[in-house]
Amino acid sequence: MSQPAHRDTPWQTHTVLNQVPPLEEMDVFSSNLPLVEAVEREGAGWVRERACALGRLVGGEPQQQWGRLANENTPVLHTHDPQGNRINEVEFHPAWHKLMQLGVEHELHSLPWTSAEPSAHTARAAMYMTAIQAEAGFACPITMTFAVVPALRAQPELAAEWEPLITATTYDPRSIPAAEKGSAIAGMWMTEKQGGSDVRANTTVATPLNGGGPGGEYELTGHKWFCSAPMCDVFLTLAQTDEGLSCFLLPRILADGSRNAFSFQRLKDKLGDRSNALAETELHGTWARMVGEPGRGVRTIIEMVGHTRLDCVIGSAGGMRVGVVNAIHHTAHRSAFGKKLIDQPLMRNVLADLCLESEATTALAMRLARGYDEAHADAEAGADSSDAQLFKRLATAVGKYWACKRTPNHAFEALECLGGAGYIEESVMPRLYREAPVGSIWEGSGNVMSLDVLRALTRSPRALEVFMAEVELAKGADPHLDAGMARLKEQFADPATLETRARRVVEIMALCLQGSLLVRHAPPAVADAFCASRLAGDGGLEYGTLPAGVDFEGIIARGRPQS
């Protein structure tokens, strides 16, 4: 009896065709052309060799393995040891510690405070934007460690004790006194259940020991609802004193090796950034020292908050870059309906729009970082309220609002470019999408940031002049941008409704600043498309709605990754 013909046919159903090769071993700095250009333009060209080395490293195991492993193996809280002793230990996967070591050894937490090179904030921004492309969760404690330094300097003796440890380039996760390790990672505990963003509603109480006062000892009693990176060595927190809300430095392990008197109640089950722990914590007679003046806690800790908001903008740019790279790589290798996806006219529109957003956010982040360099230089020279400081204060709030608001939908649209493959965890895109909203919530939601812009303008009316002077450096170069500037000025004609319109005001401020930066520094294809779509209304509410005459190929070419 003859056999059916199909039994002689080789098994073919698992032959792999029309699939995208892995995206690996890429220098994620050098292949990011808008960032490379911004480093040179903003005065930090000296860091390029270091950034290239970091880019090559990040494009290898950190991006391919460590980020995935740190998220798949989430932190575990161990409240007690086998003998029943309270230990408050959070266990992390080794990949987390590798990421932390990478960040510390490359000075992402310390460069502006230790480098003698010019434009150190700008240089660090480039490095940070590069490193965060491996994984976003570990950037939280790196950012807080970086940001704690200017707040600590409000209390010189505490800064003298802790700053050398905080800026050290060694990472040691052991639960021993920081002085024994010779290094420290810093965190921040502000939020309480009853207050959220309204930290003045905090109920944690500080009781003085031996008189208290600036630099003095206190015992804290209360409940902190969101304690990010609870395994840090030291934290800044807020508590009520007789004089009002005050700032305190709280070590996790005391100098004698004993554990400070607080308890982690649980770890939060978060939407994204799952590699990083977020604890709910009880303080019961917790030993701490006051930082800054009594009753001036918000003013003291706001220095830390401002620097974390800077990193929210830089991190948004880094996340957008990951989305652009994956979307372009996939569409350049995947065919549908007779041609590569990247050659389909409508897909080109989507990709170009994503590239525009990414480049505009990168330009904004790097200009903002230069603002920190200039403001720091002015402060060192004794200028208390320079134009650079006014720009830094206002542009941080504007940039943080807008960049973080644009990130979630950017991640979603980039994910959709991969189709079903983008919905699968192996593609990295679901993790990117889950991580995207945190920047808009952390350190000030959209409403908080919009009102902060109005507060900055009320306290320093000249800040708007300084901001507009920056935007108007491109005046006359693009009619759409000029019209946007005119509309921006009109926004302040009716002060009575300004708070209700705050989001709209901040949005047009951000778009004018981004448009000005691109008109001055990006190729015409990029600047023209941005101004036409974002400022002239020749674009829709979603990505992929650019006008038909745009140079799609030119824009995509700038965003295309180089392996």
Query: Same structural domain for residues 217 and 117?
Result: no
- The per-residue pLDDT for range 316-352, each reduced to its tens digit, is 999 999 999 999 999 999 999 999 999 999 999 999 9
d(CA 53, CA 57): 6
In a domain, 8, yes or no: no
- The per-residue pLDDT for range 404-424, each reduced to its tens digit, is 999 999 999 999 999 999 999
Query: Same structural domain for residues 332 and 259?
Result: no
DSSP 334: -
Query: Same structural domain for residues 183 and 122?
Result: no
- Record the tokens describing residue 161, joined without a space: 């004790």
The arithmetic mean of pLDDT across residues 305-311, rounded, is: 97
- What residues are paired with 206 via a beta bridge? 220
In a domain, 64, yes or no: yes
The arithmetic mean of pLDDT across residues 289-315, rounded, is: 96
The arithmetic mean of pLDDT across residues 262-267, rounded, is: 97
Query: Same structural domain for residues 501 and 545?
Result: yes
Does the pLDDT at position 4 exceed 70?
no
Q: Which of 166, 189, 222 is the last residue of a domain?
A: 166
**Contact (CB, 8 A) for 558 and 359:** yes
**Contact (CB, 8 A) for 433 and 411:** yes
Query: Same structural domain for residues 403 and 520?
Result: yes
pLDDT of residue 563: 55
In a domain, 263, yes or no: yes
Does the pLDDT at position 1 exceed 70?
no
DSSP 259: B
Q: Which of 166, 190, 213 is the last residue of a domain?
A: 166
d(CA 253, CA 18): 55
Cα→Cα distances 79→85, 223, 263, 267, 460, Å:
8, 17, 8, 11, 48
Domain count of the fold of the chain: 3
Does the pLDDT at position 9 exceed 70?
no
Residue listed under structure tokens 């650019």: 546
Query: Same structural domain for residues 410 and 430?
Result: yes
Residue whose C-alpha is closest to residue 276's, from 185, 141, 399: 141
Query: Same structural domain for residues 41 and 155?
Result: yes
- The per-residue pLDDT for range 43-102, each reduced to its tens digit, is 999 999 999 999 999 999 999 999 999 999 999 999 999 999 999 999 999 999 999 999
pLDDT of residue 231: 96
Query: Same structural domain for residues 131 and 255?
Result: no
**Contact (CB, 8 A) for 317 and 365:** yes
Query: Same structural domain for residues 259 and 200?
Result: yes
SS3 assignment for 412-441: HHHHHHCHHHHHCHHHCHHHHHHHCCHHHH
pLDDT of residue 316: 98
d(CA 369, CA 261): 38
CATH at residue 522: 1.20.140.10
pLDDT of residue 3: 54
- The per-residue pLDDT for range 127-150, each reduced to its tens digit, is 999 999 999 999 999 999 999 999
d(CA 237, CA 227): 10
In a domain, 4, yes or no: no
Element of type H or E holding 336: strand 335-336
Identify the sign of the CA torsion 394, 397, 399, 405.
negative
In a domain, 147, yes or no: yes
| Chain mean pLDDT for the chain | 95
Residue 104 binned pLDDT confidence (cut-offs 50, 70, 90): very high
Query: Same structural domain for residues 194 and 305?
Result: no
pLDDT of residue 197: 82
- Judged on CB neighbours under 10 Å (0-12, 13-18, 19+), 176 is exposed
- To 10 degrees, the CA torsion angle through 394, 396, 402, 408? -160
In a domain, 326, yes or no: yes
How would you label 13-47 residue by residue, b for 16+ Cβ within 10 Å and e otherwise?
eeeeeeebeebeebbbbbbbbbbbbbbebbbbeeb
pLDDT of residue 408: 98
CATH at residue 205: 2.40.110.20
In a domain, 476, yes or no: yes
Print the domain residue range for 77: 33-166
Residue whose C-alpha is closest to residue 147's, from 98, 196, 111, 183: 111
In a domain, 2, yes or no: no
Residue whose C-alpha is closest to residue 520's, from 457, 449, 464, 470: 470
Query: Same structural domain for residues 150 and 197?
Result: no
Spell out where 242-331 has E strands: 244-251, 262-267, 278-291
pLDDT of residue 325: 98
Amino acid at 376: H
The arithmetic mean of pLDDT across residues 177-206, rounded, is: 93
Query: Same structural domain for residues 476 and 404?
Result: yes
Cα angle 159, 100, 287 (rounded to 5 degrees) comes to: 40
Helix (H, G, I), strand (E, B) or coil at 552: helix
The arithmetic mean of pLDDT across residues 370-389, rounded, is: 93
pLDDT of residue 449: 97
Does the pLDDT at position 8 exceed 70?
no
Does the pLDDT at position 120 exceed 70?
yes
pLDDT of residue 11: 60
pLDDT of residue 198: 87
Q: Which of 120, 142, 166 is the last residue of a domain?
A: 166
Residue whose C-alpha is closest to residue 286's, from 204, 215, 227: 204
